[in-house]
Structure 1
Amino acid sequence: MQSEKDKIRIVIADDHEILASGIAVMLSKHDEFEIIGTAKDGNEVIKIVQNNTTDLAILDLNMPNLNGIQTTEKLKKDFPDVKILILSMFDREGYIQNALDAGVDGYVLKNVNEDEIVAAIHRIMQGKTYFSQDVMEKMANKMRIYGEAEGGVKLSETERKILKLLGEGDTSDEIALKLEQSTHSIVSYRKMLLQKFEAKNVSHLIKVAFERGYLG
């Protein structure tokens, strides 16, 4: 019998409550896990972690209010000891790259079986990383999971924000106002984004970024 102090304490977040509850029930069958809560968005995850000793957060990417990437960034900043496992249906390069940039410890797709999720948790809690085979295959020609980026587009936090705002139709002046930067700086960032995505113009940039998963 696993003692309470030795159990891996887990919070699970998915905007579909039935999925979060299903994962919780599945993991609860394993004596080494303790489910300390389920959440519908990142804000609820943060509250749970603030009030409970937490070892691992299992996060969906597509959540309202605070999505999986934003939640990961906040947890890594405020609770660096909490491990992050992304469990998502999204397998496009951009989603995976953004998750890696945010500092996740693992990324598996929702089509994996129970054994693989359990194996991923154990590996992550040993201080290692875990990426499911499907994810590895998707990124094989784009980047080395344990090395430098090859074909994946590396984006800074500011570049991600600007790309998102461009996707929403904002002009450089509007983006400069929202991000409290000069229009000249935003224009420079925009030129850099065009180069990184090998795009001809902003419209082409948005199209390419969306197709590759950098814009949801």
Structure 2
Amino acid sequence: MKRILIADDHEVVRSGLRAIVEAHSSWIVSGEATNGEQAVALALETRPDVLIVDYSMPVMNGLEVSRRLKSLDVGAEVLILTMHESEELLTEAILAGVRGFLFKSDARKHLMSAIEALLDGRPYFTSVLLERLLHDYRTNKQNRSDMLLTSREQSVVQLIAEGHTNRSISEILKLSVKTVETHRASAMRKLRMSSTAELVRYAIRKKLVAP
């Protein structure tokens, strides 16, 4: 039996995903998480083959979950689900090592195919996402990386917007306080911002946190 872990902070979404997964006779749901930190803990405990992770989760977003699992050598593939059509998010997901990316609106139709691909060692991106990524690469490849926050910087900004201090962020992300301060300063410099309030507004606008 292949083990699938589901991480989403909405119970109705988790229930829907569970129903789709359990419709496959060779798959079982090894656990359900309501935030990114819990997803990492359950992955270490249950050792799933695939994690279905909502991008926009409290404490630790889906990309940070993927990065953490890779650093811990868990060996599971990550399938990111998102409501947001964003070229930047797709690019950052790939840079974070994510090999599966799916819109929530497509989950009912494509989720089983996505999981099967990841279990077979193949990446899975819906065609509209691939077309968007290729278009973005062709038209914006020059100096594009200088305009983006890294996924680690995005994680720091998300936690700042959720009200965490530098010290609590360092504990959540397993970084030194100095490193957190460096990421914070770098994000503010790239965004040309000078206050926490501006970072919070940016996080809301970019759907890193709920308004």
TM-score by length of 2: 0.71
1:122 counterpart residue number: 116
CA–CA separation in structure 1 for the residues paired with 2:107 and 2:185? 45
1:39 counterpart residue number: 33
1:11 counterpart residue number: 5
CA–CA separation in structure 1 for the residues paired with 2:122 and 2:143? 22
- The structure with the largest helix share of the pair is 2
**Which segments of 5 or more consecutive residues in structure 2 lack a partner in the other structure?**
163-175
Q: Deviations over 1:136-174 (max 9, x none)?
A: 233232138xxx888565544565467669989xxxxxx
CA–CA separation in structure 2 for the residues paired with 1:38 and 1:31? 19
Change (3 A) 1:150 1:51: same
**Which segments of 5 or more consecutive residues in structure 1 lack a partner in the other structure?**
1-6, 169-177, 195-200
CA–CA separation in structure 2 for the residues paired with 1:18 and 1:90? 18
**For residues 61-140 of structure 1, what are the structure 2 equivalents within 5 Å?**
61-140=55-134
Is the Cα contact below 8 Å between 1:59 and 1:68 reproduced in 2? yes
Is the Cα contact below 8 Å between 2:158 and 2:203 reproduced in 1? no
RMSD: 3.8
Which residue identity does 1:28 align to in structure 2? Answer: E
How far did 1:27 drift? 1.3
- Which structure has more RCO (C-alpha within 8 Å, separation ≥ 6)? 2
CA–CA separation in structure 2 for the residues paired with 1:116 and 1:85? 12
Report the secondary structure of 2:121's partner residue.
coil
TM-score by length of 1: 0.69
2:178 counterpart residue number: 180
| Farther-moved stretch of structure 1 (130-139 vs 157-166) | 157-166
Q: Which has the larger Rg?
A: 1
CA–CA separation in structure 2 for the residues paired with 1:102 and 1:81? 14
CA–CA separation in structure 2 for the residues paired with 1:210 and 1:46? 23
Which residue identity does 2:114 align to in structure 1? Answer: A
CA–CA separation in structure 1 for the residues paired with 2:6 and 2:111? 13
Residues paired across the two proteins, number: 191
CA–CA separation in structure 1 for the residues paired with 2:109 and 2:118? 14
CA–CA separation in structure 1 for the residues paired with 2:34 and 2:160? 28
CA–CA separation in structure 2 for the residues paired with 1:165 and 1:26? 31
Which residue identity does 1:127 align to in structure 2? Answer: G
Which residue identity does 1:58 align to in structure 2? Answer: I
Q: Deviations over 1:78-137 (max 9, x none)?
A: 134110000111111222222222111110001115341111111112212111123223
Change (3 A) 1:190 1:89: closer
